[in-house]
């Protein structure tokens, strides 16, 4: 398959943890006299979409009609994050701004001489003290159910802030049981999502499920055993395990042999957000009716493009279309030996 389907008619809901990526850029001037630290002259600031918001942005960039269901704080960051998403054509009418929530914010301070690539100096995370309330989950679950008839796929994006649990997890399972395609990019919670169409864990998340370390999944045999257990225990049609610079591996219901695709063979610039791109493209591929193999190849090609740019970025449909013919092909998964 060398053509990307038309995703423009597809309707997607993204449910999950909305995160703000705040970037502060400064130019190094001198060492401070107050302490042995670098002094940066403030140059500019930018707000980016992170977590489920980045998944939503990736879906929109690929041409789908996207709605986000998630929480932001009733604060400036929350307001600006939703504005950012709206600017990308995303429906934010079912995102909730709540006084009992604080928008998780990753502030990255970057220093750069003019004309140079900015370098990370420090990151400060602002995180809510507690998980969202049952009440907030119930409100979003109700909004998700109200959209049921109009959705081609639901993408759950779990960044570990506790939203995707309880009634909201139950609603995802109920939608799956009613025949809606449901894909979860998981973090720590797996069994609560039994019966979904697919999950897209990375190696670390699969290791969490298997209660082991990433190193223990270093051989194909160990990786396949853990992945098969997860696919079976959660009764998934597909399990797509993303393997960073090694690509991805797909386990399918009714198929004995897993399939694998190698990562695009170039030096990555910034891998942040690649998992969101992969999950978004895989979910859209399934929503378009592609078999899992083709959806995996699309996901790998799209993720291979975003790692070539700094920051969490999204891959446009046009870029994916032009990259696909030369993107790595899927092969039988028995070839990797270590």
Q: Is 81 in the site for ligand ATP (CB under 6 A)?
A: no
- Could you tell me the smallest distance in angstroms from the CB atom of residue 100 to ligand ATP? 27
- Could you tell me the smallest distance in angstroms from the CB atom of residue 275 to Mg ion? 3
Q: Is 19 in the site for ligand ATP (CB under 6 A)?
A: no
CB atoms under 10 Å from CB of 40, counted, come to 18
Residues 138-157 that bind ligand ATP (CB under 6 A): none
Let me know if 276 is a catalytic residue: yes
Q: Is 272 in the site for ligand ATP (CB under 6 A)?
A: yes
Q: Is 111 in the site for Mg ion (CB under 5 A)?
A: no
Q: Is 275 in the site for ligand ATP (CB under 6 A)?
A: yes
Cα gap 249→246, rounded to integer Å: 9
Q: Is 268 in the site for ligand ATP (CB under 6 A)?
A: yes
Q: Is 304 in the site for Mg ion (CB under 5 A)?
A: no
Figure out which of the listed residues 273, 285, 311, 333 binds ligand ATP, where binding follows CB under 6 A. Answer: 273
Q: Is 275 in the site for Mg ion (CB under 5 A)?
A: yes
Per DSSP bridges, beta strands 238-242 and 259-261 are unpaired
Give the count of residues interacting with Mg ion (CB under 5 A): 1
- Nearest CA to 243 among 207, 267, 294? 207
Cα gap 139→101, rounded to integer Å: 14
Cα gap 178→193, rounded to integer Å: 14
Q: State which residue, 178 or 214, has the beta carbon closest to ligand ATP.
A: 214
Cα gap 324→300, rounded to integer Å: 10
How is residue 226 written in tokens?
């853990």
Non-local CB neighbours of 278 within 8 Å, separated by 6+ positions: 200, 240, 242, 248, 299, 300, 302, 303
Q: State which residue, 160 or 166, has the beta carbon closest to Mg ion.
A: 160
> Per the residue annotation, which of 134, 276, 294, 318 is the catalytic one?
276
- Could you tell me the smallest distance in angstroms from the CB atom of residue 76 to ligand ATP? 26
Q: 3-class DSSP state for residue 117?
A: coil
Figure out which of the listed residues 78, 111, 132, 247 binds ligand ATP, where binding follows CB under 6 A. Answer: 247
Residues 201-230 that bind ligand ATP (CB under 6 A): 202
The window from 104-112, 188-196, 272-280, 295-303 that contacts Mg ion (CB under 5 A) reads 272-280
Q: Is 271 in the site for ligand ATP (CB under 6 A)?
A: yes
First to last CA, the chain: 29
Residues 298-337 that bind ligand ATP (CB under 6 A): 300, 303-304, 307
Geometric angle at alpha carbon 181, from 18 and 207, rounded to 5°: 60
Strand (E) positions, 32-170? 38-51, 65-69, 71-73, 96-98, 105-111, 119-126, 153-157
Residues with catalytic function? 276
The residue ranges that bind ligand ATP (CB under 6 A) are 202, 242-245, 247-248, 263-264, 268, 271-276, 278, 300, 303-304, 307
């Amino acid at each position: 398959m060398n053509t990307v389907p038309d995703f423009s008619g597809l309707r997607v809901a993204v449910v999950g943890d909305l995160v703000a990526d705040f970037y502060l850029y400064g130019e190094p001037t001198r060492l401070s006299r107050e302490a042995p630290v670098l002094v940066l002259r403030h140059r500019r600031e930018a707000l980016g979409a992170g977590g489920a918001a980045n998944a939503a942005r990736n879906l929109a960039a690929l041409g789908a009609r996207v709605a986000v269901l998630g929480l932001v704080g009733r604060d400036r960051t929350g307001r600006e994050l939703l504005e950012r998403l709206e600017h990308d054509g995303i429906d934010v009418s079912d995102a909730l701004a709540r006084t009992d929530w604080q928008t998780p914010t990753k502030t990255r301070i970057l220093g750069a001489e003019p004309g140079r690539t900015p370098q990370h100096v420090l990151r400060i995370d602002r995180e809510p003290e507690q998980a969202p309330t049952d009440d907030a989950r119930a409100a979003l679950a109700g909004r998700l159910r109200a959209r049921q008839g109009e959705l081609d796929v639901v993408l759950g994006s779990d960044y570990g802030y506790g939203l995707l649990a309880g009634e909201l997890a139950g609603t995802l399972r109920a939608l799956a049981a009613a025949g809606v395609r449901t894909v979860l990019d998981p973090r720590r919670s797996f069994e609560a999502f039994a019966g979904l169409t697919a999950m897209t864990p990375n190696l670390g998340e699969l290791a969490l499920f298997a209660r082991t370390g990433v190193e223990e999944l270093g051989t194909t045999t160990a990786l396949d055993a853990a992945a098969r257990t997860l696919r079976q225990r959660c009764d998934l049609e597909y399990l797509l395990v993303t393997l960073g610079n090694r690509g991805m591996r797909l386990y399918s219901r009714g198929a004995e042999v897993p399939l694998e695709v190698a990562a695009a063979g170039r030096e990555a610039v910034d891998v942040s957000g690649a998992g969101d791109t992969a999950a978004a493209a895989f979910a859209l591929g399934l929503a378009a009716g592609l078999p899992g193999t083709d959806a995996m190849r699309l996901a790998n090609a799209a993720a291979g493009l975003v790692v070539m740019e700094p920051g969490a970025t999204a891959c446009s449909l046009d870029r994916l279309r032009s990259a696909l013919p030369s993107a790595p092909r899927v092969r039988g998964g028995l070839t990797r030996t270590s």
